[in-house]
Structure 1
Amino acid sequence: MKTLANVWTWLATGANWAGENGVWHRLAEHLLLTLGCLLASCLIALPVAVTLGHLGRGGALAVNLANVGRAVPTFAVLVLLLLTPLGRHGDWPTFIALVLFAIPPLLTNAYVGMRAVDRDVVQAARGMGMSGWQLVWRVEVPLAFPLVLTGVRIAAVQLVATATLAALVGGGGLGRIITAGFNLASTPQVVAGAVIVAVFALLMEAAFEGVRRLGPSRARGRAR
């Protein structure tokens, strides 16, 4: 109970939230890193998944290769990148490691969503004279949207948690609060930092849940 009281005291202290080392500044850094990595991974994974899902070829191999990446710890990838020439380029090793970490759920869910589209609907769209790209963007992608969004949500929440690793190599983000707590032997600060990361991840989850609730009806409208 004493530890929890000390954690609450740390969170309630305004000085811990202000300045360059404060929670708000670290939260902004964490959000920027998360969104940047999420955008980059979406730009890489989603076009590949949509294309392969539409063609129905090579997708299983791509998904299996992406899933192999899940077995490799992100921290191990980060350390290996630091040993390469990229290690001399600031935050690039962290950025690349997090992007690689986010690709598997994006690729898997988007591909499965594309292949789960009712083939009768696809054939009907073809019979109406739709071209390949019209079929993709007016039929397949809207119907696959819920699963695509699920992949984006999973990747985003995982990135929020994993982006704390940036602090281990001198990067910013909420992980700096936790590492500073370890350096100061301050258990309340370590626990408070972990709580803030957990709350941030839950808020990210809630945001995507809100989008999911609005998304399917809009997607059905586009399909029609």
Structure 2
Amino acid sequence: MFADFAAYLADGANWVGPNGITTRVLQHLYYTVLALGIGALIAVPAGMVIGHTGRGEGLVVGLANTMRALPSLGLMTLLVLLIPSTLIPPITALVALAVPPLLAGVYAGIANVDRTVVDAARAMGMSPWQVLWRVEVPNAMPLIIGGLRGATLQVVATATIAAFVNLGGLGRYIFDGLALYDYTRVLVGAVLVTALALVLDGLLALLVRLVQPGTGRLALRDPALQEAIDERAAVAR
């Protein structure tokens, strides 16, 4: 089977065309990005408000635990019966999977910014909106990207269920292979999903390192503003 797997990948004909590996990878990325984008539209504003105001922390924990407990395949199957669409059910199931880690990452990032720094920014006359966007969000970015990293891994791995309702993606190899008892094709799908997840995880891990405060690798903060806030925070301490 492993020899057949290597031969399958070595055959250039399997990489092109509507059923080729390249097309399947792009389809899988499309479902992943779409689900993460919709999930971010829901989770990021909610996480910012809750982290900034400190209100609704119990809601975050309860919602995250509830949504994590939802079975993605079961939810998608139910939605297939209720919604006459091929794309909405799997994307909805993936969004439900993406929201908890995104929400937790944004909330935790904002809430764990040094309160002395936040108080110093307010003492400089910044409005709540300025404090959020110019101080809290830049300093919270490592945890925010960490939440995105966790959500991406879960969505990439679970996006294979799109093939269950005859959509594309790398899950097509797994479902078609099982239907035809072609386990080489199943192995191709499993390895490609794993490889895609590892590549995306590596890129996001690198991004987390780049946005670490104080490293200077990726400047997300206004240096003059940050210096002034640090000075005021040092005096407050």
TM-score, normalised to structure 2, is 0.89
The structure 2 residue matched to 1:208, chosen from 198, 204, 207, is: 204
Q: Which runs of 5+ in 1 are unaligned?
A: none
Which residue of the partner structure matches residue 233 of structure 2? none
Instruction: In structure 1, give the amino acid aligned to 2:147.
Output: G
Distance 1:174 1:201 in 2: 12
Say which of 26, 29, 45 aligns to 2:27.
29
- Cα distance, 1:204–1:62 mapped onto 2, change above 3 Å: same
Q: CA deviation at 1:63?
A: 2.9
Q: Deviations over 1:141-178 (max 9, x none)?
A: 11111000000011111111100000011111111111
State the distance in 2 between where 1:112 and 1:60 align. Answer: 13
Please report how far the alpha carbon of residue 220 of structure 1 lies from its aligned counterpart in structure 2 after TM superposition: 4.9
Alpha-carbon distance in 1 for matches of 2:62, 2:134: 28
Q: Distance in 1 between matches of 2:198 and 2:100?
A: 21
Task: Write the mapping of 1:13-52 to structure 2, written as runs, cut at 5 A.
Answer: 13-52=11-50
Aligned to 1:75: 73
3-state SS in 2 of match to 1:33? helix
Question: Deviations for 1:43-88, whole angstroms, at most 9, x for unmatched residues?
Answer: 110100001110110122233212211111111111111121x2x1
Residue 54 of structure 2, aligned match among 56, 59, 62: 56
1:221 CA displacement: 4.8
The CA distance in 2 between the partners of 1:213 and 1:109, in whole Å, is 16
Question: Which is bigger in relative contact order (C-alpha 8 A, separation at least 6)?
Answer: 1
Percent identity of equivalent pairs: 45
Q: What is the alpha-carbon distance in structure 1 between the residues aligned to residue 181 and residue 72 of structure 2? A: 26
Tell me, yes or no, if the aligned pair for 1:122 and 1:139 is still in contact at 8 Å. Answer: yes
**Is 2:109 the partner of 1:113?**
yes
SS in 2 for 1:19: coil
Q: Is residue 63–residue 107 contact of structure 1 (8 Å, CA) maintained in 2?
A: no
Separation in structure 1 between the aligned mates of residue 105 and residue 120 of structure 2, nearest angstrom: 24
Counterpart Cα distance in 2 of 1:184 and 1:56: 54
CA contact (8 A) 1:49 1:59 kept: no
Question: What residue in structure 1 maps to residue 182 of structure 2?
Answer: 186
Pair 1:96-2:74 in alignment: no
Provide the C-alpha distance between the structure 1 equivalents of 2:30 and 2:144, rounded to a whole number of angstroms. Answer: 22
Residue 166 in 1 paired to residue 158 in 2? no
Q: CA RMSD in A?
A: 1.3
User: SS state of the match for residue 171, structure 1?
Assistant: coil
Deviation of residue 202 (structure 1)? 0.4
Matched residue, 2:231: none
Give the partner amino acid of 1:219.
L
Q: Following the alignment from structure 2 to structure 1, what is the Cα–Cα distance between the partners of residues 105 and 152?
A: 13
Structure 2 CA distance for aligned equivalents of residues 148 and 16 of structure 1: 38
Aligned to 2:220: 219
CA distance in 2, matches of 1:182, 1:115: 46
- Compute the TM-score of the two structures, normalised by the length of structure 1: 0.94
Query: Cα distance, 1:16 vs. partner?
Result: 1.6
Contact kept in structure 2, 1:7 and 1:191, CA below 8 Å? yes
Q: Deviations over 1:177-212 (max 9, x none)?
A: 111212221111111110011000000001112212
